[in-house]
Structure 1
Amino acid sequence: MGLAAVLAAPVGSSAVAAAQPAAPAVTTVAAAPAVAFPGNQVNYQYDGARLQMSATGGTNPYAWSAVNLPTGLTINASTGLISGVLRGSGTRTVTVTAKDAVGATGSTTFTWRVIRDACPRC
């Protein structure tokens, strides 16, 4: 190859880019949801209860679940609202979990004390 062919070769970013390997693809993974601690709960038996759970992080929407709720309470799987009328008494250790759209989970644990009222209709 002659000197003229070497001088005619392209110079610049396209020549440099062709010589360098491609950068690896970057994948961003959202953090698992973090369920907020609502504080320990205390209510009287036969009272109505409403506790809105919340979470941050992860990928919306969340699917909510709870284990060991006091008798009479349920959690709305779509909204995270725990509600109902407390039927039993005693102290329960409740765990609430949020599962995000990609399957990552986060949870929190708290106690829920239900006090038997000596005179519920007085």
Structure 2
Amino acid sequence: MSTHLRTPRRLAALAVGLTALLAAPAGPALAAPQTAAAPAIHDVAAAPVVANPGNQVNFQWDPVRLQMTAAGGVTPYTWSASNLHLGTSINPSTGLISGALRGSGTRTVTVTAKDATGASASVSFTWRVIRDACPRC
């Protein structure tokens, strides 16, 4: 703050001005606008939540059926998945992951459900596929 604003006379004038401003009644220009009715509050559905199926372990060439589920949001859901093992896919309408597991290894799979309003939720889990010593025995 510069020194020319620190003089006692200027500080006293500032204090008197602030006191007058704070003591003045609020007129129509300063009052909060009045509305005829409160705005309508719309129910907003919570975003969907995808249930975690837990970590999965299967043998190579096993047929799999893993049903994904979700709650909340607005149905129907559209399902998608990333990093699925070769030979499996997810049904975008039902959320069922199915197929025959080809290859082996561990992957982190991410499944996403998108509801009718466009809100989405995801869950990730690991899926380990073990190479069977004798796949056709």
TM-score (norm 1): 0.82
Q: Where does residue 90 of structure 2 map in the other structure? A: 75
- Structure 1 Cα separation of the partners of residues 136 and 70 of structure 2: 37
**Total equivalences in the alignment:** 104
Report SS of the residue matched to 1:43.
strand
Q: Where does residue 100 of structure 2 map in the other structure? A: 85
Code of the aligned partner of 1:117:
D
Q: Deviations over 1:59-90 (max 9, x none)?
A: 00000000000110000000000000000100
- Structure 2 Cα separation of the partners of residues 90 and 23 of structure 1: 59
Alignment of 1:21-60 (within 5 A): 21-60=36-75
- Structure 1 Cα separation of the partners of residues 119 and 92 of structure 2: 16
Unaligned runs of 5+ in 1: 1-19
Asked which structure has the greater CA Rg, the reply is 2
Code of the aligned partner of 1:39:
G
Q: Where does residue 10 of structure 2 map in the other structure? A: none
1:101 equivalent among 116, 123, 127: 116
Higher helix residue share? 2
Tell me how far 1:29 sits from its aligned partner: 1.1
Tell me how far 1:26 sits from its aligned partner: 0.6
Report SS of the residue matched to 1:96.
strand
Unaligned runs of 5+ in 2: 1-34
- Structure 2 Cα separation of the partners of residues 89 and 112 of structure 1: 10
Higher relative contact order (CA 8 A, sep 6+): 1
Runs of 4+ in 1 over 4 A off after TM superposition: none
Q: Deviations over 1:4-32 (max 9, x none)?
A: xxxxxxxxxxxxxxxx8312111111111
TM-score (norm 2): 0.73
Q: What is the alpha-carbon root mean square deviation over aligned residues?
A: 1.3
Higher strand residue share? 1
Q: Where does residue 5 of structure 1 map in the other structure? A: none
